[in-house]
Structure 1
Amino acid sequence: MAEGGNSVSGGTQHGLVQASRIGEVNQYFHFGGQDDTDPGHQLPLDNGVFENRRAQTDRVWRELDERAKSAPLEHPLVVTFTGVSGIGKTALVVHLAHQMKDRFRAAYIDLDEWRTDGSVDHEALLRHLLRWLGVRDGRPSSEYRQLVGQYRGKTQGARLVLALDNVWSADEIRTLLPVSAEAVVLVASQERLSGLESHVTHELALGPLSPEHGSAVLRRLSERVRPDESAQTLVPLARLCDGFPIALQVAGQLLFTYPRRRLERIVADLTADLYEKGLPVVEAVWNAAYATLDPPAARLYRLMPHHPGYDITLDAATALLGTGLDDGEDGLDGLTNAGLLALSPRAGRWRTHSLLRAHAVRCAHRYGDPAETEEGMRRLLLWYRRQAERADRTLGAERMRMAEPVPELPYAPDVPFASAAEAGAWLDTERKALYGLVRIAGDLGEDTHAWSLCEPLWKHYEDHGHHEDAIRAFQTGRDCAQRDGAAQALIRMRCQLAQALWKAGRAADADAETRQAVLSAESVVPGEKLHASALEFRGKYLAWHGRPDEAVPYFQRSRDIHLTIGNPYGVLLQGFLAGRTLRAAGRPAEAEAELEAARRLAVDQDRVRMIGRTAAELARTHRALGRTAEAVAAYEEALVHERARGSVHDQIALHDELAAVTEESGDPEAAGRHRARARELRAEAGIESDHED
């Protein structure tokens, strides 16, 4: 008997079949989808064939009841469920979360959907959770440390149940644990998680289901189309599935898909496959499904595991295949119908379960060849590079670029970008694929593609952070530019890498990269725009490192180059940077002259953001010079522009500074108004205050 008495689990929550009459099975089994019955919950639909893991669920409920009677608690209840892939961990944590919805606010997080090259994207995930907890979309902090603080503040005292799936290590979830002792965290992991001992109340291992329970699952999966089939007649197929819920799910879908096919034939085919190839039982089920695929679907299945993204679109699948949109559609339809692919929670995208990705790799080894994989990845790389370049140009046509853009490709369509917002959203959605493809390009020896793909990633990095991802990608870009003999691209890659390094706290490495970038620029492109850019990055690094007096000459030299080559915005930006850095160096009189000139240029060029930024810096400079009235006027001007831009964090900072300067000037009423407005903005954005009234 399986652990859990007469419990039955129906496997994972992701849909495996979606087309034609098989669409009916999804509605019946509730595979995939989101539970939208209550906007306070974010859960997949509960599995329709789940008949409970009674021992495990009873254990959790007993613990909850005991905690309710206990003295004040210090930590949330954390329960880990362990077992191999396909054993039903996902179904169990989702089922439990659904059962707890009347007591807790519930959410499900699949960490596989938040990984980039093997590491969890904690910044993006924390923003997602903060939005779920009530922070307005787009309002969470841009700083990781502040994000953690916001999350702790939002979970303090909250009654939450958080189901965390596909957890690889304790480090991945330690930051995600709610502060509240009233919260419950349900963790699904293949292995025992060391390092959570101080939090984990129970560790529960899941094993296979008994043949009786397995046949009951198969009976429920097929009863609509095989009403005369009894649970007893399904025992041989259940035994073949060896109690793995994921295998039972696929076998049940085969029964549903082929309602007139003799059960003996299905069992015989799967048994023959098992014994002839000596594969695990679940492998036999998937091999049988693979054998039914048409050529485009089979080839796409072999290629998809090498796609580095969270999930895949029709256009990307078409690029992988390289034989046109019709084959892309046929391939996705064939894989979905065969139960080897699921619709992603994100609209218009498909996703392969991690266990099936591994199976697809084995199929590629057996039935494909290295040339097929390499050709597919080269096509995919070129297609993604083209789309990223198009998105980058939609976001900012003036940005300096070294690479020649990829021309239109005959084998796959372009992604339409109707606006900068759509282009930015695409870059963010595809970031895992894009960062991963830089590494893949380097592995393939496609040096030009590697550093060229780093260029459109720059704007995304500036907007979203992801420092470690950027460091890995930009290091690859630097090395590939060097191998490629692309001297100008190498300078640019060193600059991009340096900023990611110093923002990650790696000062020595950033120092070396900016030094070398300036030396190379002086040799390769003296007096040109790239030389000015290298000087700017060196100045930014020195300013960040607390050496403002050393930084100022770099901004001034960069400005001189921009002035010589006739780049007005470059002159404006470097003047602003020089003024800001002079103020930080304690040289406010010099800063004022620089900033006044920069402000005039910003107005002349109608640069709204720079008008606001220069006004704010002038306000701080006036304050440093003791000119309170001028400082207040400049702060008010800066606020007008930041309101127009909708920059909440900048508005909060300006109100805080205005409160301080008006109080210093003897106007407590004005100071109170500014503090009140700062509190309102923080409340609207869900930001915890660092200030005490």
Structure 2
Amino acid sequence: MRSSKTIASATGAAAVGNDNNGYIFTGPVTFQSEVGRGRAWNSPHSLPPEIPDFAGRNREISEIEIGISSVNRMVILVTGKPGVGKTSLALHMAYKVASQYEDGALYADLRGIESNPAPPEEIMGRFLAGVGVAEDEIPASNDARLDRYRREFASRKVVMILDNAGSEAQVRPLIPPGGEALVLVTSRSNLSGLEAAHHLFLDVFDDDSSLTFLRNTVGAGVVDGDVSSACKVGSLCGYLPLALRIAGNRLRTVTMAELVEELTDHRNRLEALESGDLAVRAAFNLSFRNLGKSVRNSLKRLSLVPGGDFGTALCGALSDSDERSAKSVLRKLSEANLIEASPRAGRYRFHDLIRLYAQEQFERDSSKKSAAASSRMLDWLSYSALKANLTLNGQIGRFESPSVSIAEIGSIEEAAAWIAEEAANASAAIDLLLRVGDSDRAKALAIQLSSACEVVGDWQAWEDVVTRGIAITESHPDPLFDVLILSSRVNLLRYRREFQQALDLASRIYPRAQEAKDKILLANAAKLLGCLRVDVGDAAGAQPLLEESLSLSKELGLRHAIGQALYNLGTVHRASGRAHEAIAHFEQDLEICIEVGDASGAAETMNTLALTHMEIGEFSKSERYQREALKIFESVGNPHKVSMVCNDLAISLRHQGKAQDALSLHLEDIERSRACGNVSGEALARANAAVLLVELDRDAEAERLFEQAVSVLSALGDELRLARTLLGQMSMLFKAGKADLALDAASKAIEVFLRHGEVRDAVSAHENLALALKDIDEGERALFHAEEAMRIGDGIVSPYLRGASCLAAVIICDDLSRPDLVAKYVTELRAITDKYPEMISHLRKEYEGEGWAVPDDSIGDGAVE
């Protein structure tokens, strides 16, 4: 049974609730013959009572036991934030291993963070007395006392708890030589300089341990009667054991739901976490008071950071200090365990309750000091975001350095790194700017940040920024801003392949831009709607919109916008099978991207150029463009663009007979897409890898990947990618003798392609069907699909695809002994290869590599590229 507070006071002990799951008694050393659950002690013992409701910590207990069993590892240092249960763990372990230490168990509170820490010599005297050394035999001089202490404990098998250590110097003299004793040290500071100790950082509970602890504290019936609310209590307490202990005490007088309601109000949360003399705030106070003034001020100001974590530069901006000073402050706060390391290297974060405590302290500062710190942070985030975006988009020449502190960004890589680290803080700063009445800066930050997030491919941060921006349009209407932020929303939907939703929104934006009579807005809106028309297969409807965008951009002298318009018109020519016209447009855009320093735009154009060269059989040239684009996207750190280029590069390699290299790229892309949460992209990579596995006669592996891809794409409702995957399965199904299944899958895919205006995919499907049917001696059905490929692709598809369709028709007609049709298709094929002689060798190699006999003189010998 836990001792009562009254008894503790009567014996001269002090109740300490700061770090413990229960009352911990300190004061005069007393020795007991029986404690706890009937355990007998025949040696000196001064441990406080065992914790009856101890919960969790299995991993830490195991780690300590391993440490104890290690040679020269008899000092275990347990560190962690205030209230995390360091003393409870030390006590639990001391009782657990007490039978191995027959010479006694000793405890001392070193009071390390209080104004009067216990000198080591005082603890030595107490411990010497505790093991029976007469008071008059304990030396008065420090050196002599240390010598006697070491002699006395060198061979004693005792377990010691040195609780609440403040420094290494306070602990070192108390560690006995000889390796017989087990010393458990607890400290709020990391004590990094303590030699030969096993360092164990104690973190907060997990979900299960929190619930178990509450059950042990207030009873299983209270917790299991409202598990949902109990989980919320754990979360609102930040899973901090001290806070949960107090919550358990409070639950004797309030219901779980009532406590949740109290804790949900963050302004009242610390007030709600008080019970008797136990208080989370009081535990934090001890650590806070122990900090130097400048470090205390920094802790308070860091509570302003609106996102999840922070680094040296932002700390420096808040504190108005240089990087070196900021780094020192963060190190000291980390060593005091008032902040903790973030998963991102070199960055830190708060525990939720410590953040609330720091905010309370910040609010006590003068309004002038508070406003100045907030202003410095918002300036740093706003101007740094602007600089990062202009750097990423090749427009850094437009940047005028402000007089305030901003991040050091001197390259695309540094700009991308800044966005990766600070996007969450900068996004949340949009709301803070609105709160202080600066809506213009809030809008500007939303535009700059959404653009930067698009470049680096951080879709989640991009969505967060756009959502905040759209909220501004409702409270602070502004035609220019409204169109820009909604346009960003459209682009995000395009990246996520939600084309119809994007088209609907772009269709609403265009007339609004016309009404605003702003040529820049109109150029942007026309470009956006035109791009969506291309996305949904309406190249004819896209062309006038994109030409309007180009005309307006030229009129305004917007060089960068001219390049974008040329690129988009190039995609129209490409979709219509006009490869040379497309290439000319892309090359003009690439020249402009390089001229204005838009590296990401250049990479995008290079990859599209590569695809267009692929369509006329220039695969080695395609590969060169793609490898250059890949370098750029890797330097920017955009995982989605890297995935896109790797997928397209693999197709180039496959056409060049480098199947194993192509497969490696697709397999890497599966992992890359999974890591960045691109579920559809991951499924596409699986489908593409499966196609190559079929070619490599690894059908069992291919079937597994196909099944996974079909399952995911069906669930996502991504019709086009699902259709391409079904088509990719066709070869495997024909090989397995499942021609009916293959034909059914191909028919479904063709219907989807035509409905979405994806004529190239439909032509490719018919061509592949024709050749597959020829292989199983279904000549007439093969001819039907060959002629369908020719019919629907007439004047639309790329020269290479048209040439491939012609050659397939020639092969099938030759096999059917139809010289009239052979002559017809040979004539068209010769017209194509005369214009694009570079495709001849590739067509011959590809078809003969598949085992199909190419009729003599149908395409000539061709020149090797």
Query: What is the TM-score normalised by the length of structure 1?
Result: 0.53
CA distance in 2, matches of 1:450, 1:512: 27
State the Cα distance separating 1:385 from its structure 2 match: 0.8
CA distance in 2, matches of 1:293, 1:438: 32
Instruction: Please point out which of 149, 164, 167 is paired with 1:252.
Output: 164
Secondary structure of 1:228's counterpart equals: helix
CA contact (8 A) 1:619 1:632 kept: yes
State the Cα distance separating 1:499 from its structure 2 match: 1.9
Task: Determine the structure 1 residue equivalent to 2:622.
Answer: 635
Instruction: Please point out which of 396, 403, 408 is paired with 1:408.
Output: 403
**Gaps spanning 5+ residues in structure 1: where?**
3-9, 13-52, 56-82, 102-189, 191-205, 235-248, 261-272, 623-629, 663-669
Alpha-carbon distance change, 415 to 281 in structure 1, aligned in 2, over 3 angstroms: same
Task: Determine the structure 1 residue equivalent to 2:586.
Answer: 598
Task: Determine the structure 2 residue equivalent to 1:449.
Answer: 441
Secondary structure of 2:406's counterpart equals: coil
Alpha-carbon distance change, 324 to 595 in structure 1, aligned in 2, over 3 angstroms: closer
Secondary structure of 2:395's counterpart equals: coil
CA distance in 1, matches of 2:89, 2:589: 76
State the Cα distance separating 1:252 from its structure 2 match: 1.2
1:156-555 equivalences in 2 (<5 Å): 209=88, 212-213=91-92, 225=120, 228=124, 252-254=164-166, 280-321=278-319, 332=330, 335=333, 339-342=337-340, 346=344, 348-364=346-362, 367-368=364-365, 373=370, 376-398=373-395, 407-409=402-404, 413-480=405-472, 486-504=478-496, 510-511=502-503, 513-526=505-518, 528-545=519-536, 547-555=538-546
Task: Determine the structure 2 residue equivalent to 1:571.
Answer: 562
State the Cα distance separating 1:424 from its structure 2 match: 1.5
**Gaps spanning 5+ residues in structure 2: where?**
3-17, 21-49, 68-83, 95-105, 113-117, 131-160, 173-270, 596-601, 635-641, 673-684, 696-865
Secondary structure of 1:423's counterpart equals: helix
State the Cα distance separating 1:560 from its structure 2 match: 2.0
State the Cα distance separating 1:284 from its structure 2 match: 2.0
CA contact (8 A) 1:539 1:551 kept: yes
State the Cα distance separating 1:375 from its structure 2 match: 5.1
Instruction: Please point out which of 610, 619, 626 is paired with 1:616.
Output: 610
Partner letter of residue 462 of structure 1? E
CA contact (8 A) 1:542 1:551 kept: yes
CA distance in 2, matches of 1:517, 1:382: 31
Deviations along 1:119-166, one digit per CA (max 9) or x if unpaired, are xxxxxxxxxxxxxxxxxxxxxxxxxxxxxxxxxxxxxxxxxxxxxxxx
Secondary structure of 1:417's counterpart equals: coil
Alpha-carbon distance change, 468 to 347 in structure 1, aligned in 2, over 3 angstroms: closer
Task: Determine the structure 1 residue equivalent to 2:767.
Answer: none
CA distance in 2, matches of 1:502, 1:646: 19
State the Cα distance separating 1:435 from its structure 2 match: 1.8
CA contact (8 A) 1:619 1:634 kept: yes
CA distance in 2, matches of 1:415, 1:521: 35
CA contact (8 A) 1:613 1:638 kept: yes
Instruction: Please point out which of 651, 657, 660 is paired with 2:651.
Output: 657
Partner letter of residue 681 of structure 1? L
Partner letter of residue 393 of structure 2? G
CA distance in 2, matches of 1:544, 1:231: 80
Corresponding residue pairs, total: 461
Alpha-carbon distance change, 502 to 399 in structure 1, aligned in 2, over 3 angstroms: farther
CA contact (8 A) 1:274 1:281 kept: no
Deviations along 1:343-368, one digit per CA (max 9) or x if unpaired, are 55655544333332233244456x45
CA distance in 1, matches of 2:64, 2:483: 54
Alpha-carbon distance change, 372 to 419 in structure 1, aligned in 2, over 3 angstroms: same
Q: Which has the higher contact order (CA 8 A, sep 6+)?
A: 1
Larger deviation, residues 516-525 vs 415-424: 516-525
CA contact (8 A) 1:341 1:353 kept: yes
Which one has the largest radius of gyration? 2
CA distance in 2, matches of 1:344, 1:605: 37
Deviations along 1:180-206, one digit per CA (max 9) or x if unpaired, are xxxxxxxxxx9xxxxxxxxxxxxxxx9
Alpha-carbon distance change, 652 to 394 in structure 1, aligned in 2, over 3 angstroms: closer
CA distance in 2, matches of 1:396, 1:436: 23
CA contact (8 A) 1:310 1:433 kept: yes
Alpha-carbon distance change, 482 to 609 in structure 1, aligned in 2, over 3 angstroms: same
Task: Determine the structure 2 residue equivalent to 1:588.
Answer: 577
Task: Determine the structure 1 residue equivalent to 2:663.
Answer: 679
Alpha-carbon distance change, 613 to 349 in structure 1, aligned in 2, over 3 angstroms: closer
CA contact (8 A) 1:612 1:639 kept: yes
Deviations along 1:245-297, one digit per CA (max 9) or x if unpaired, are xxxx997144878889xxxxxxxxxxxx9999956344322122323445544
State the Cα distance separating 1:481 from its structure 2 match: 5.9
1:76-87 equivalences in 2 (<5 Å): none
CA distance in 2, matches of 1:547, 1:97: 64
CA distance in 2, matches of 1:451, 1:473: 10
RMSD: 5.3
CA contact (8 A) 1:11 1:88 kept: no
State the Cα distance separating 1:428 from its structure 2 match: 0.8
